[in-house]
Amino acid sequence: RCAMDWKGRRQSDNIEDERGSSPMGGSGGGGFRFPGGGIGGGGLLATSGGLIFSGDGAGSLVAFNATDGKPLWNTRIGQITNAPQTFELDGHQYVICASGDTLWSFILH
């Protein structure tokens, strides 16, 4: 099963950079398989606290451990339509993400 990236290159469900290393840890070969059949659109957000946020193919926003790629948290909000973003307000860190015409906001503890 393949998809096209923004440059028109074919990509498999395994996410790897051009050197063959996985953005979710590990190197060479296998890459990382997202649950639900691939990235759910938008892009990835990596935090300095060791989390990676992305949509999955099942319509969920998922937080992964950046070291080992294990899912830590998820919520089903529908197909992700932008890259998750983060900001701080009044001493709290938030992650925001859009699904269709709805903007979702989550506070990180």
b/e map 73-102, b = 16+ CB within 10 Å: ebeebebbbeebebeeeeeeeebebbbeee
State pLDDT tens for residues 9-33: 444 444 444 434 445 555 544 455 5
Quickly state the pLDDT bin for 103 (edges 50, 70, 90).
Answer: very high
Express each pLDDT in 35-90 by its tens digit: 555 556 678 999 999 999 999 888 899 999 999 989 999 999 998 988 999 999 99
Residue 44, number of CB atoms within 10 A of its CB: 15
